[in-house]
Structure 1
């Protein structure tokens, strides 16, 4: 088991308080988020910490999302994220269907 969204959020909020900037920043969790919710955060130019589950390459893992797009095949569309996988790889793509939680910072 790794870190939960609550762990990540409380750790970030502790850090903001420790640095004396908790009046400027705080973390927000989204459990079972929607793609529109993710897009709304990205559209404010904020990165998002994304928890994915059961991904064929990453398993259960936190990644950083910073963009999105729709990938279409005929009549079907996949909701895609642009990510940094936390293992030194930027510019990766990930299907939103693996997303279970989001944590982002608000000012």
Structure 2
């Protein structure tokens, strides 16, 4: 569709910018946090940075309750710049249909 063809290149550019700004996305080790039939969450980690990536391949939005998340809060590396609090290693991420989120993990 026309809307998809105009937004997809912008989204790919945004992902490329996030990767360029994040050593963990480019070179970090990989650790799975959650895998389901239509969602996946993983961490990319270096000694200096941890990034959480969440993917939703479902046609419906989803709320993902996550456990064993490091840090105190998550800050989006994408355009929305949202912040999610982590309490006791738990956080909840809302993803739109076919959505992607990329967060930097902050210890403080």
- With the length of structure 1 as denominator, give the TM-score of the two structures: 0.30
Report 1 or 2 for greater relative contact order, CA contacts < 8 Å, sequence distance ≥ 6: 1
- With the length of structure 2 as denominator, give the TM-score of the two structures: 0.30
Bigger share in strand:
1
